[in-house]
Amino acid sequence: MCGIALLASGIRIDLSSLHIDSISPSSKTHLGFSFNDLKAALQRRGPDSLGTKKLLLLHSNNSNSGNSWVSSVNEEAHVLENGSNLSESFAELVFLGATLQLRGVTPVIQPLVDSSGNILVYNGELFGGIEVGSDNNDTEILMQSLGKCCSQEHRTTYNFNGHGKGSVPDVLSVIKGPWAIIYWQESSKTLWFGRDAFGRRSLLVHWPTMEDPRFLLSSVSPTSSSLQDFEVENGTSGIKFWEELSCGIYTMSLDATKSDGKFLGEMQKHEWTNVMLKELIEWERVSIEPKPEELNFSRSKTLSAELDMTSASLVSVLAQNVLTALRESMMRRVSLHSIYQAVKFGARQKETVPVAVLFSGGLDSMILAALLDECLDPDYEIDLLNVSFDGESAPDRISAKAGIKELRRVAPLRRWRLVHIDADLSKLTWETKHVLSLINPADTYMDLNIGIALWLAARGEGWICEESSNRIDEDKHVNYTSRARILLVGSGADEQCAGYGRHRTKYKHESWLGLHEEMKLDMQRIWKRNLGRDDRCIADHGKEARFPFLDEDVIRTLLDIPLWEVADLDQPSGKGDKKILREVAQMLGLHDAAILPKRAIQFGSRIARESNRKNFGSNRAANQASAGSVVINVPSYFS
């Protein structure tokens, strides 16, 4: 996990190919944040190291120079706060990288610069597609792979296979895992940037305007700019300074000859080159509408399994495929040889908890906890992080306490630690303002409520029940802060397995095809509605969110299953929704969790109830106002 950013000044940028209006007057207000503000925001994400590199582009007086301009890389010294005063005779690109190192055995400081002058800042993991040795850091391996790439103009005609030459899109298209990247390719004088096809890592963009002509990329919005951005949103045009960068691979190709000696940057978006990845993005399922006999057979199998849960012969082959894919996904994400902090001192730190679970005790988090137990060395404890805004009475707290009992039954040798994270919304004024900066450009009460709950969970400050003599004293509370640097989150389960109430509504009105289209829509917009926001809130504590349900192989496995085997929404809640995952839970011995209904974090933790009372007077008034989608009015929120 890293915080990455780019500040580009002195470049006239052509956005026509992206269908974005550049330099549009009075569209956005210039927001005041300093370079130090940006560094501070990034270093909260990457507390292990912070580095900067400045690429200076200068016109050359050498007539033999092919491009009539040269570039040089320097350690950052002084950065102009607003590019509008930059001389037209040169341009600068400032790269920033703050690192939370989770792989490799030696420290790595970003940005990386290779012998060819290429520059890389990378926020991601290589879980497949490009081989990473057990002692290697994935950013360094990626830099080597990118360094072998030819320029886009001279790309080869065959797809990159992880070893030979190819284009930058070839390399990025084969990566399995979450990523966001900013990469300067010196040979072609091209800036590459983008994020993975599902948007599992945040990357924000500021397109140049009259008020602020810089081109900016950042993992997160600096705090000092964010509240201003909300005020601009509520007070004028509704166009924000920062936007979520759409998933994909982009370039800014620089040229100093097409604009009377001024530097011109031409933006372009590139196609993914991996056929299998394109299929996942299109999210098409072969079998959507069942024949009557297929649906009857599926339901008869489900009924038989319910009557005889112990019968191995009744185990669904399809559910077994999902379980296998999820188990492999978990192993890729928690294998100890790839967790830097567990090996950097030369010996395993058994008192360290390397991985924690965002835990409600619901179906998704119970599956993740059980799989983590299977994949993580039994010497390590596992923290289960549970947030409540209603003490022991919140639904998620009740289900979490029931869930840990079931986990102790199926995995009695593991030391499970339920971390009770209690909060009072009325006392979180500073925290709320801070989370507002993290969710930006998301701006609704629902975004804020979810963001606060995730931020508190990632912080990990709460209490646990005392353990002594192999016994847990429920009455003795001990303050505790989880130090786990990897946090497992269940994102993607509801979108892929019809877990939301709107899925049931869509199915009721438009049957199987309507359900499929709604699920497809959810998967294709998850980057904008969920993942960027969630990544920013969790990473703010120097923690990395990992999403086992959004592993490429898990997505492929679920798409290969007929829709009526994934979900059967003619059945009641807690049975037909996420049917395939309920079968997986049964296989893991989680019989109680397998029948739990869906409950979103904002409702299960009861932060939505407290927010509704604070901002709308009551839950009823909030429901009438459709509070979840209402844009936050910052001045009135804190009045």
Catalytic residues: 2
Amino acid at 373: D
Which pair of tokens denotes residue 529? 């509605």
Contacts of 247 (CB under 8 A, 6+ apart): 194, 195, 196, 197, 198, 199, 527
Compute the distance between CA of residue 362 and CA of residue 372 in angstroms, rounded to an integer: 15
State the residue for tokens 């016994």. Answer: 471
State the residue for tokens 């920013």. Answer: 536
Q: CA 112, 117, 119: angle at the middle one, nearest 5?
A: 35
The CB-side HSE value for 116 (13 A sphere, CA atoms) comes to 18
What's the longest Cα–Cα distance across the chain? Answer: 84
Which pair of tokens denotes residue 412? 């009695």
Q: Which of 241, 199, 250 is nearest to 222 (CA)?
A: 241
Q: Which long-range contacts (CB under 8 A, 24 or more apart) does 77-84 make?
A: 79/7, 79/35, 79/54, 80/9, 81/34, 81/35, 82/30, 82/212, 82/214, 83/7, 83/8, 83/9, 83/10, 83/212, 83/213, 83/214, 84/212, 84/213
Beta bridge partners of 264: 12, 255
Contacts of 389 (CB under 8 A, 6+ apart): 422, 423, 424, 425, 605, 606, 607, 609, 610
- For residues 360, 100, 550, 135, the Cα torsion angle rounded to the nearest 10 degrees is -120
Q: Which of 438, 400, 445, 453 is nearest to 592 (CA)?
A: 400
Q: Which of 173, 179, 223, 207 is nearest to 38 (CA)?
A: 223
Q: Look at residue 555 and give its three-state secondary structure.
A: helix
Compute the distance between CA of residue 185 and CA of residue 116 in angstroms, rounded to an integer: 9
Q: Which of 367, 588, 409 is nearest to 497 (CA)?
A: 367
Compute the distance between CA of residue 214 and CA of residue 31 in angstroms, rounded to an integer: 12
